Structure 1
Amino acid sequence: MGGTLWVESVKAVPNLIVALITLILGWLVGNQLTARLDERKKRRELDLLALGVFYEIYGEFFAVWKMWSNAPKSLHEDDDFRRTLLDRSAETEGKLESMLVRLASERKLSDRDCTLLGCFRQAVQSLRESMREKTGLRSRVTWQGQQLVAISWYGSDAPPYLAFKALAAFAADLLSRSSDLDTKAETAYSSLRKITSSRLERTWLEEASKLLALEV
């Protein structure tokens, strides 16, 4: 009887080994899946936070614009008032720059994406530049074959205003998507360089109108 029990025990060893290996593999795979899901969840939470920051930037831009445009003309010459708004505008641009770095480093951006983000960046800068020149919000750009013109943002059909709205919608949509886990440093550098290119300083309105098929 003892011999029979020994034989049966030996026969059971392979099955025990297989069961043990299966348990270990299941535990490892389960842990990996859990870790990956947790990472995606955290990244998604960060994506939503970034989208919230973008909305704050958008709101701050309009707040400063309205304060500047609705102020009596005499305040446009007041250094303290203008400096306060210039500081707020610069702070808004700083938040935007930080967000652009994040977008470049965490997403695989096409040339079109980079150009449109660069156009949005230039549009936002128009406010600070206008306040520095003590004028209403306008953009100094090349437009419809003209070398350099100053186009006002006032009016719902004003080309810069329409383009800014469309660019904001594009940026918000881009931020609402899930970020990529494997964006490489060299790719991020290339994207950021395109976004911050000075070539868009005077051409952003035409570029945005063309790429977004705006009727302006």
Structure 2
Amino acid sequence: MSTFATVGVPLLTVAATLAGGWFVTTRITDHWDQIKKHREMDLAAAEHFQRLYGEFIVVWKTWNALEGKHTAACPAPEEARWDCLQRMIEVEGEVEALVAKLATERVLTETEIDMLGSVRQAFKFVRRTIRKGRPLNWTSDEVEPYAAFKALVAALSHMVMNSPGPQHRPSSAVAARNFLQITDNRHEITWVATGLRLADTPIPEQPARRRRLLLSPRR
């Protein structure tokens, strides 16, 4: 038996085994690193959205304090009203960016598309209310837009926190279609109903005039 047969073959076998083990270990490590990185990005996005919601609460409460009945005898400075509007526009812009991110990173169901489109319109509703100089009279969950708004915020936060992983990404064409559907104007009149469905809240039949008042359409 040759020296190669007695020494070389076992050495090659050991080398091949070590190389194979290194390759598999590296692939597994890379895979888990990607999952970890993706998870960290999701957590960062979720924390950012939660901060945006906190900013919305501040703007809402400030705006209602400025426009409340108890301030009628002492009108607030115009600068304060403008500041509320500007801050709400910034919040809305950040929400738009998050929605665009999700549209390009997720394979979305029709329900998720409706939810994201409704989230956009919910924040637009608040901005339009401030722009028109009206108080946001969300005093309890019996106010349907308020109940819908909270359900939509919770649904979006849950979606951001529960990513399917980096391997589930839509094609550019699918992402474009998703975003077009999310930004469709139909959500302007359906966002309250969508939010109430997410919260399993019954949607009562309402006269057309009252529904228009609740949704406060743009001027």
Q: 1:75 to 1:54 in 2, by over 3 A?
A: farther
Structure whose alpha-carbon radius of gyration is higher: 1
1:44 Cα deviation after fit:
0.6
Q: How far apart in 1 are the matches of 2:121 and 2:57?
A: 15
Structure 2: give runs of 5+ residues left out of the alignment: 204-219
Are residue 52 (structure 1) and residue 51 (structure 2) matched? no
Range with greater deviation from structure 2 (171-180 or 121-130): 171-180
**Distance of 2:189 and 2:179 partners within structure 1:** 19
Equivalent residues in 2 for 1:14-29 (5 A)?
A: 14-29=9-24
Distance 2:150 2:127 in 1: 18
Q: Structure 1: 5+ residue runs without aligned partners?
A: 1-5, 138-151
Q: Which amino acid aligns with 1:105?
A: T
Amino acid corresponding to residue 32 of structure 2 in structure 1 = L
Structure 1 residue 12: deviation in Å?
A: 3.4
Higher strand share: 1
AA in 2 matched with 1:164: F
Aligned to 2:149: 164
Q: TM-score, with normalisation over the residues of structure 1? A: 0.83
Q: Does the 8 A contact of 1:120 with 1:168 survive in 2? A: yes
Deviation at 1:202, TM superposition (A): 1.9
Provide the rounded CA distance (Å) in 2 between the counterparts of 1:192 and 1:180. 20
Alpha-carbon offset, residue 32 of structure 1: 1.5
**One-letter amino acid of the counterpart of residue 206, structure 1:** A
Instruction: Return structure 1 stretches of 4+ with deviation > 4 angstroms.
Output: none
Distance 1:10 1:207 in 2: 73
Q: Which residue does 2:214 correspond to in 1?
A: none
What's the secondary structure of 1:201's corresponding residue?
helix
Write the distance in 2 (CA, Å) between the matches of 1:68 and 1:154: 14
Mapped contact 1:209–1:215 kept (Cα < 8 A): yes
Offset of residue 212 of structure 1: 4.2
